[in-house]
Copies of this chain bind each other. A is one copy, B any other.
Amino acid sequence: MRQVAERAGVALATVSRAFSAPTKLSPATLRRIEQASEDLDYTVNLNARALRGQGSGVILVLLPDIGNPFFSLLLKGIEEGAREAGQAVLIGDTAGEPALRERSALQVQARAADALILLDGQVPFAAGSRGRARLLRAPVVAVSERVRDEVVPYVGIDNVAAARDVATLLADAGHQHVAHIGGPDGSSLSAERAEGFRAGAAARGLSILGTVVGRFTTESGRKAAEAILSWPQRPTAVFAASDEMAMGFIAAAQARGVSVPDEIAVVGFDDIAFSELFAPALTTVRQPRHAMGRAAADLVVRWRAGSRRSVILPHEVVMRDSFGPPRRR
């Protein structure tokens, strides 16, 4: 930068202003400085800028598995929102391990990132610890899955209401005996969806024959099928808390000669890309993942005292072939 100043015949400060507040300069000198920078092919050093105090312009995103398409689409929304605000996105795959989560989160304490978006329902560092307290001085929002810490705003859909909608849908179609394949125990998602489904079922006199605990994977969906299909009384419909589990269930059911939706109707959750291509095409609850990502990015970017509000986005039940009324046989 010093060289640029010399070449343009101005002071260092002027060059600095040329990049941070171009309007404050006379067009003539601005022009000269641009020319000089071009010649020397100079670029501002973002580290120096960050050090000086403007923040690093980086948003850190913590997620449990970046290979999972569900998260990568959220990430796309975040990336888009961040980019438009001139921010960059740093990712940390925590693989669900607290140690990795904390290691990544250190980027915030070390000022390499100045905001944090949580996609895995966990705030790094133990509740009440100094590490967490320090972390929460920065903008932090939770997406898709809520976190325990009440201070952290949430961006996502109303999972309770969505699951209730599914129960209503099943009841309306005439189902009376159903089953639920839930997510793992620790997750707020699992709890909310199970709760909503229960509430909706109760309200409409639907009997839930049983609930199986899965892990959001196709494999656990398969296992759930083994269990459910050998119950003494077979449900006429199943609600899975994720599309992967729904697909696993259907695959296993078909392998056993049980037809979907003719003998059992299936409803999933998330509307991942392949739900539409799956045979039978999956009826499911769509989450506006892209919009969720954007909303989260917007939240941390415009982080003022007033804006620390949760954002609940609308969900939508997408009707496809895996769902139908119960068959009289």
Contacts and interface: CB of A to CB of B under 8 A. Distances in A.
Contacts of A233: none
Kindly name the residue among A45, A75, A76, A112 whose own CB sees the greatest number of chain B CB atoms within 10 A. A112
Given A47-B47, A91-B91, 5 more contacts: A56-B112, A67-B76, A76-B93, A79-B91, A274-B278
A265 interface: no
Contacts of A72: 66-69, 71-72, 75
A249 B9 CA distance: 64
A109 interface: yes
Interface string A158-189: 00000000000000000000000000000000
A42 to B, nearest CB: 9
A51 interface: yes
Integer count of this chain's copies in the complex: 2
B73 A67 contact: yes
A107 B56 CA distance: 12
A2 to B, nearest CB: 15
A66 B75 contact: yes
26 contacts: A41-B131, A43-B109, A43-B111, A46-B110, A47-B47, A47-B50, A47-B56, A47-B111, A58-B112, A66-B75, A66-B79, A67-B73, A67-B76, A71-B72, A72-B75, A79-B91, A88-B92, A88-B104, A89-B91, A90-B91, A91-B91, A274-B274, A274-B277, A274-B278, A278-B279, A279-B279
